[in-house]
Amino acid sequence: MPQVMEFKLPDLGEGLTEAEIVRWLVAVGDVVAVDQPVVEVETAKAMVEVPCPYGGVVTARFGEEGQELPVGAPLITVAVGTGAAPGPEAEASGSESTSTSASGSGSGSGNVLVGYGTDHSRPARRRRVRPVTAGVAAPVVPAVTAPPAGSGPVAAGPVPVISPLVRKLAKDHGVDLRALRGSGPEGLILRADVEAALRAPEPVPVPMPTALAPQGERIPLKGVRGAVAEKLSRSRREIPDATCWVDADATELMAARAAMNAVGGPKISVLALLARICTAALARYPELNSRVDLAAGEIVRLPAVHLGFAAQTERGLMVPVVRDAQSRNPESLSAEFARLTELARAGKLAPADLTGGTFTLNNYGVFGVDGSTPIINHPEAAMLGVGRIMPKPWVHGGELAVRQVVQLSLTFDHRVCDGGTAGGFLRYVADCVESPAVLLRSL
């Protein structure tokens, strides 16, 4: 006799508490294998395919595409130990089956996500499986009790719809099922309810009084945008930051890059050369590769440079992290920047790719701007901003000449160092940009 196993939305790591369902990869009645991805979700950090640790037949699916679920909420139930979807009689006879969630013990793989195991510390619990009436498919979402007469439309919670045809009809015609009250048993929404909503006359718009300002478009502050907003707000609240900047002649740096790329082999990006300069500068000024532990009242200097870099994507600003950047040469840095940027734009970065940074390099010159005052990527201590490199009049060798000039700006946490240290770091970076031989001497 098959066991019905309940798989819950796992902890995706790094303090994430919820995820939005982007796309279901399985349907009720599908046979799934152990560790087969069953749903694609979007967290505040990345798009993730969630694998199910159980193999069997999908008997129920919880949540709709576009709906946010908290960690620990049920995703699907799987009948384990059968090769076909159980019929109504099998469901009824198995109503006392023992069900184990993915976060507890069970006969699944326990992987859930690579790098984030399941929690085996929670005891298994028993779950009563409700019998399914013959001839009715297993519900995608659990039914709820119909609201009392006159209570108004359903505003929140699962929508009482069983038929996928009814859902498709509503979706195709833009009908919000949450606004309907079903005429079926226990408030079940039927096809007739949707068709009645389609026949209803459109409400006449009420003109807005001239004294009121337009309401404008409302965009939910969630997902990546919400995570960025929270992180930047926290940075402003907690970090007493300051910014210093300097113009630098990047002509020699650009010439050095052209010479390096002329000999063949993998191309080296300007960002990789700037990253190599940053790691050398952080070796000289380790105060800026640190963070503040408020609970302990200490400044923690970090042994490795995990270099974050800003990457603009369709989902918003992402900051992938290059691990152990201090041990990489320009070719390795270029390759890693390219790899992470491609994953970011495809929405395939893992949460681990977006966390753990110790210093951030922000090349906003790609947007055609010269300067900025970056906001520190909390809980880091500093960020180097790089403007566009462009021809400008410059005094070189005592004469006025046209040179490739760039503005560099450093925003730093004033708790970890004073202006002398920050200025020394920025001046060293500028010296390396103006004369790459300075960097060679320090290696």
Answer yes or no: are the C-beta atoms of 168 and 151 closer than 8 Å: no
By C-alpha distance, which of 65, 85, 216, 199 is closest to 141?
Answer: 65
For residue 104, the 8-state DSSP code is S
Strand locations in 334-398 (E): 359-363, 382-386, 390-396
> Among residues 120, 173, 396, 414, which one is catalytic?
414
Q: Buried b / exposed e across 332-351, counting CB within 10 Å, b at 16+? A: bbbbbbeebbebbeebebbb
> Is 414 an annotated catalytic residue?
yes
Q: Which two tokens stand for residue 256?
A: 């050095």
Please give the Cα distance from 152 to 79 (Å, whole number): 37
Distance CA 66, CA 43 (A): 12
C-alpha 379: how far from its chain's center?
A: 18
70, HSE (Cβ side, Cα atoms, 13 Å): 1
Helix 419-434 to helix 251-262 angle, to the nearest 10 degrees?
A: 50
Catalytic residue numbers, as ranges: 414
